[in-house]
Structure 1
Amino acid sequence: MAELCSLRAFTELPCTPDRLRLLSFNMQVGIQTGGYHHYLLRSWQHLLPFRARAHALSSIAELARPFDLVALQEADGGSWRSSRKNQVEHIAHLAEFEHWYHQINRNLGRIAQHANGVLCRQKAFQVERHPLPGLPGRGMMILRYGDRDDPLVVAVTHLALRKQTQFSQIRYLVDLLADAKRVVIMGDLNQESEWLLRQSPLRHLNLHPIADELPTYPSWQPARGIDHILVSDSIPLHRIAVIDHPLSDHLPVAAEIGV
């Protein structure tokens, strides 16, 4: 059952060795947005460096620290606006993750490097990076962990805004994951679970249903549940929650699964 809780409430009990804690977060390149007016007043922060971004990244690292695997969307891979810091690498260092991976999806040269990212305690034995159908700028990472004969397959993505494009991107994702037995899909999917699990090609993957979907966007007054951690029904799903911890225009989603 989904819940809304604080970071402390979700992580206060120790995680047993047979479980993994997962987090997915659209970090909006370290811009702290607290209202629609900030989209206009802080729009320059998408292109230029600013001093408060370093504090924002430290806060995101504190959010990520208690988890075993973290998926980040809207990170910067190292450009002018991020003071030439790869934000995925920087957060991994601050949160003491030994392994991290990233994927540049929209390369604007020295100005901006739009990226997805993954932080993990255990090294993936295989990492794939795929551009998604539609206009350039959307991508998906597929990481495989554990037993090579029966791996845990983790897909991290940020889907397009238009439903028609989302459908083709999801169909591409499903084709890539068709042979996987244990799947976790993490990211900003820009669509509610009702449509994703009942009307999109994801219905073919035998994922856990979401009984009580909680909204994640916008973070200051959540109305839409568009950020997700979706898990195969062959994987025990012990907890899933939206974390009431606004650091961007999205709220993070957390889950605890059995392995």
Structure 2
Amino acid sequence: MSEKAAKKMPAAGEQRIRLLSYNIQSGLQTASPREYITKGWKHFFPHPEKQENLDLISKLVVDFDIVGLQEVDAGSLRSSFLDQTAYLAHRADFPYWNKQVNRNAGPLAQYSNGFLSRIRPMETHTYSLPGLPGRGAILVDYGEGDEQFSVVFLHLALSRHGRLRQLSFVSDLIASRKHIAVMGDLNCPTDSGSLVDFMAKNGLKDATCGAPTYPSWQPVRKIDHIFLSDSLDTDTPHVIDFPLSDHLPVSVDVVLPFKLNESIPD
């Protein structure tokens, strides 16, 4: 992959990193409850709409530095055998990207998480989350040592019991890390007991605005999140009015401290 679009980190001063999280529903737009039924077949079969929506999504993500993606297809019948994470990385000129297949239905479907990055990761780890099969986490470390910036990309279970087990697992993953971002479709609101406890245990704060993200056509629930360590300052949180899925994307600018800048390679 070309490094021409890699994020250039200055040797001094503060640096803003733009984060975005988006459940893209494999490129399928849903504009009403009725369309879950009338367009449901498109979840399993290819359709030109998905390609068109991916091209529009690529124009959204191009303005960000680190992007977390949920419900991307890794290349199967329903996506016309297109690796959607790789496609978005190419279209938006992200030099670094990776994916994690969580539900492998062979040639029929490849349900995945993914991320795009303009900053070179030092390490990338993928984990299967506890509970019913099909949920995973990607942990990406930028920099090394005490001044490391770590990002966890998640898509949590629908059940409360499953989410509790998964959040406990993630807590263990990030316990030794100082500067952390946790982002994704967490399938529960910020004020749910499981998230309140998770944030308190790990010294995290809700970095996005309080606006709801789901369903995209008439949002009433905030279930898509970006959490950040208390050590990190934030600016310009948004829920973006971009209804090309059944979720809306969330974004925030992170202000990195000077030492953290130095630890992230150009």
TM-score, normalized by length of structure 2?
0.88
Aligned runs of 1:93-104 on 2, under 5 Å?
Answer: 93-104=90-101
RMSD of aligned Cα (Å): 1.6
Shift of residue 197 of structure 1?
Answer: 6.9
1:31 to 21, 28, 31: 28
Task: State the identity %.
Answer: 41
Deviation by residue 1:146-189 (Cα, 9 ceiling, x = unmatched): 23442101000100001111011000000110010000001000
2:44 matched to 1:47?
yes
The corresponding residue for 1:133 is 130
Contact 1:196 1:202 in 2 (8 A): no
Structure-2 separation of matches of 1:32 and 1:198: 28
Q: Residue 196 of structure 1 contacts residue 203 of structure 1 at CA under 8 Å; is this kept in 2?
A: no
Q: Is the 8 Å Cα contact of residues 170 and 200 (structure 1) preserved in structure 2?
A: no
The letter for the 1-side match of 2:183 is: M
What's the secondary structure of 2:78's corresponding residue?
coil
Given the alignment, which residue of 158, 163, 171 partners 2:160?
163
2:229 counterpart of 1:232: yes
Name 1:142's counterpart in structure 2: 139
CA distance change for structure 1 residues 256 and 24 in 2, over 3 Å: closer, same or farther? Answer: same
State the SS of the aligned residue for 2:222. Answer: coil
Deviation, 1:239, is 2.3
Letter in 2 for 1:90: Y
What are the ranges of 5 or more consecutive residues in structure 1 without an aligned counterpart? 1-15
Equivalent residues, number: 244
The DSSP-based 3-state class of the residue aligned with 2:79 is coil
- Is 1:70 aligned with 2:67? yes
8 A Cα contact 2:24 2:71, kept in partner:
yes
* Pairing of 1:80-229 with structure 2 (within 5 A): 80-195=77-192, 199-209=196-206, 213-229=210-226
**CA distance in 1: counterparts of 2:208 and 2:178, whole angstroms:** 22
1:11: which partner in 2? none
Q: CA deviation at 1:195?
A: 1.7
Distance 1:98 1:215 in 2: 31
Q: Report if the CA contact (8 A) 1:197-1:203 is conserved.
A: no
- Aligned mates of 1:114, 1:231 — CA distance in 2: 26
Contact 2:16–2:255 (Cα < 8 Å) also in 1: yes
Amino acid at match of 1:160: A
2:22 maps to a residue whose letter is F
When normalised by structure 1's length, the TM-score is: 0.91
Per-residue CA deviation, residues 71-111 of structure 1 (Å, 9 max, x unaligned), is 00000001111111100000110111111110000000000
- Is the contact between residue 217 and residue 249 of structure 1 (CA under 8 Å) also seen in structure 2? yes
The CA distance in 1 between the partners of 2:240 and 2:232, in whole Å, is 22
Amino acid at match of 1:19: R
1:22 counterpart = 2:19: yes
Which residue identity does 1:64 align to in structure 2?
V
- Structure 1 residue 240, shift from structure 2 partner: 1.2
Which residue number in structure 1 is paired with residue 55 of structure 2? 58
> Alignment partner of 1:81: what SS?
helix
Asked if structure 1 preserves the Cα contact closer than 8 Å seen for 2:190 and 2:196, the reply is: no
What secondary structure is seen at the aligned counterpart in 2 of 1:101?
A: strand
- The 1-side partners of 2:55 and 2:78 are apart by 17
